[in-house]
A and B are shown apart, each in its own frame.
Chain A
Amino acid sequence: MLTSQPQDALSKPVLNIRRLSKSFGSQLVLNDVSFEVAKGATVCLLGPSGSGKSTLLRCVNWLERPDEGAIFLNGVRVGFRSGGTVPMTARELAEVRSHIGMVFQHFNLWPHLTVIENLIEAPIHVQKRNRDEVIAEAEALLERVGLRDKRDAFPARLSGGQKQRVGIARALAMKPELILFDEPTSALDPELVGEVIAVMKTLANDGMTMLVVTHEMGFAREAADEILLLDGGKIIEHCPPEAFFSRPKTERARQFLQRYVQA
């Protein structure tokens, strides 16, 4: 699928991560991680639990502060002003974050707002866009994820799969340059995983730039342009899915595949 992207777009990465390291106390959770996500690409971040996947994802929008290294979103340093020594203010950080969508494992929909209100909240109050336009777009997004009839429902009334589809629509409503998915199907009942994966596949095919932490090997195999396998905070495999699933280079990757693919 890499070749299906236009070449000039591929040459400029949306996300560029350079030599990222992060420790919690004495435990090194990210160890010198570098990679890029090209415009329109879907990159799947795989790895056993505790391998640092979620931490890496949360560093991208500065929910976690890396100890070392740098993150660039469309060439702009995240977390520091240009020059790289002065930390961004809360306002500057918020501005950067508003260009990065995020889909959470536990959905994190705002419970006091209806489905449509969840979608329009940030576009109106953070991006200060026109309310009527935002509502029209949000309705189209609900149509796209198949939840038009849930427009005025509160999150508490939705199934997990429906909540996560709202979560994805909420991220899309920001017109982000990149969407981060943090184990989007891990909290779902098995029979609800499919509907969320289907929406994510459509997005990947439509050219949305996505960085996805997942245990769904089917999705990684079919929708990813690149696979990153993280183990002990290090990237131990970085290749297209065909290569990863048919001839993994490392023994750790083979063990990982054995455990997750046959399951």
Chain B
Amino acid sequence: MHGFLIVWQNAGRMADGLANTVLLATIGTALSLILGALLATGLMAKSGPLRFGAQWLVDSMRCIPFLLLAYIVYYGLPSIGVNFDNWTAGLCAIVIYNAAYMAEIVRGAWSGLPPDYIEAALSFGFHGVSLYRRIVLPPVVLAAIPIIGNQVIQVIKDTAFLMIIAVPELTHAASAIQSKYYVPFAAFIVAVGLYWMLCGLVEGGVRWVERRAEARR
């Protein structure tokens, strides 16, 4: 029990880590969803080369171990003159990696969208960007909420990898406390508890949004 007391005494540091994890996951999810929605238009494009290009991008991102992607962004890119601080590099890795998954999620829901709604929109004079943003994307995102929620949990867990490029997120904070005071069990168990809490919040949020989405399907 002594270990938990030490973790408690370092609660400020854990809280900072937690805050960074929440921030990275929130911004990361938002940006990767936006980027994924853009990529999905490529995946669904009529033009062959465009579809092929988008698919290649998505597949190549999904098939890199996330850890390696984080290394490349943080250690690799400076050698071609692109420098990020740890935090930004971590966010970039999160966004690039998860945008590929979000693109596939949006594509999946889009394929299931009845063509009737799009046909109605075309007859009413919608086309291009406004057609996608106003008529296609809203029902697609509504339909995909549970899967997007699942991906948010993936994003939260992915942020833990960012400790290897010294992003001060939750796992990094727990690791720092345990190595300084040698209380690995307490520090990591507290971190696990906090991850559980975050995922519980996401699950709750998904259920809340789901109830509201139900009327709109």
Check if A154 is an interface residue, CB within 8 A of chain B.
yes
Min C-beta distance of A247 to chain B, whole Å = 37
Check if B215 sits within 8 Å of A110, measured CB to CB. Answer: no
Min C-beta distance of B217 to chain A, whole Å = 6
- A residues 111-142 near B (Cβ < 8 Å) are 111-113, 121-122, 125-127
Q: Which residue of chain A is the closest to B124 with respect to CB atoms?
A: A122
Q: List 10 A-B contacts (CB under 8 A).
A: A63-B123, A94-B127, A100-B123, A102-B120, A102-B124, A106-B116, A110-B117, A111-B217, A112-B138, A170-B124
Give B residues with C-beta under 8 Å from A: 116-117, 119-128, 130, 134-135, 138-139, 142, 215-217
Check if A102 sits within 8 Å of B217, measured CB to CB. Answer: no
Known: A91-B127, A125-B134, A126-B126. A157 touches B119 (CB 8 A): no
Known: A90-B127, A91-B128, A126-B130. A110 touches B135 (CB 8 A): yes
Check if B127 sits within 8 Å of A104, measured CB to CB. Answer: no
Min C-beta distance of B159 to chain A, whole Å = 31
Check if B116 sits within 8 Å of A102, measured CB to CB. Answer: no
Known: A108-B119, A112-B142, A125-B130. A154 touches B135 (CB 8 A): no
Q: Which residue of chain A is the closest to B130 with respect to CB atoms?
A: A125
> Per-residue 0/1 for A138-167: is the Cβ within 8 Å of any B Cβ (1 yes, 0 no)?
000000000000000010110000000000
Check if A95 is an interface residue, CB within 8 A of chain B.
yes
Central interface residue in A63, A111, A112, by most chain B CB within 10 Å: A112
Check if B215 sits within 8 Å of A174, measured CB to CB. Answer: no
**Bound-complex Cα distance A77 to B139 (A):** 34
Known: A108-B116, A110-B135, A111-B139. A156 touches B123 (CB 8 A): no
**In the complex, number of A-B residue pairs with CB atoms less than 8 Å apart:** 72
**Bound-complex Cα distance A49 to B120 (A):** 22
List the 5 shortest-distance A-B pairs measured between CB atoms, nearest first. Answer: A98-B125, A108-B120, A122-B124, A126-B125, A94-B127
Contact of A121 among B122, B128, B134 (CB under 8 A): B134
Chain A residues lying within 8 Å of B138, measured Cβ to Cβ, are 112
Chain A residues lying within 8 Å of B116, measured Cβ to Cβ, are 104, 106, 108
Q: Which residue of chain A is the closest to B216 with respect to CB atoms?
A: A112
Q: Which residue of chain A is the closest to B118 with respect to CB atoms?
A: A108
**Bound-complex Cα distance A121 to B123 (A):** 13
Interface of B is mostly: helix
Check if A156 sits within 8 Å of B215, measured CB to CB. Answer: yes
Known: A108-B116, A112-B139, A154-B215. A97 touches B122 (CB 8 A): yes
Chain A residues lying within 8 Å of B216, measured Cβ to Cβ, are 111-113, 154, 156
Chain A residues lying within 8 Å of B127, measured Cβ to Cβ, are 90-91, 93-94
Q: Which residue of chain B is the closest to A89 with respect to CB atoms?
A: B127
Check if A157 sits within 8 Å of B215, measured CB to CB. Answer: yes
Known: A111-B139, A121-B134. A174 touches B124 (CB 8 A): yes
Contact of B126 among A61, A94, A112, A154 (CB under 8 A): A94
Check if B126 sits within 8 Å of A125, measured CB to CB. Answer: yes
Min C-beta distance of B9 to chain A, whole Å = 50
Contact of B120 among A110, A125, A126 (CB under 8 A): A110
**Bound-complex Cα distance A109 to B124 (A):** 12
Check if B217 sits within 8 Å of A97, measured CB to CB. Answer: no
Known: A121-B134, A125-B130, A156-B215. A104 touches B124 (CB 8 A): no
**Bound-complex Cα distance A121 to B49 (A):** 33
Check if B125 sits within 8 Å of A97, measured CB to CB. Answer: yes
Q: Which residue of chain A is the closest to B128 with respect to CB atoms?
A: A90
Min C-beta distance of A158 to chain B, whole Å = 12
**Bound-complex Cα distance A99 to B133 (A):** 22
Chain B residues lying within 8 Å of A95, measured Cβ to Cβ, are 125
List 4 additional contacts besides A100-B123, A108-B120, A113-B216; criterion CB under 8 Å. A93-B127, A98-B124, A110-B117, A112-B216
Min C-beta distance of A262 to chain B, whole Å = 33
Q: Which residue of chain A is the closest to B113 with respect to CB atoms?
A: A111
Min C-beta distance of A18 to chain B, whole Å = 22
Min C-beta distance of B195 to chain A, whole Å = 33
Q: Which residue of chain B is the closest to A110 with respect to CB atoms?
A: B117
Chain B residues lying within 8 Å of A157, measured Cβ to Cβ, are 215
Min C-beta distance of A56 to chain B, whole Å = 15
- A residues 153-207 near B (Cβ < 8 Å) are 154, 156-157, 170, 174
Central interface residue in A63, A97, A111, by most chain B CB within 10 Å: A111
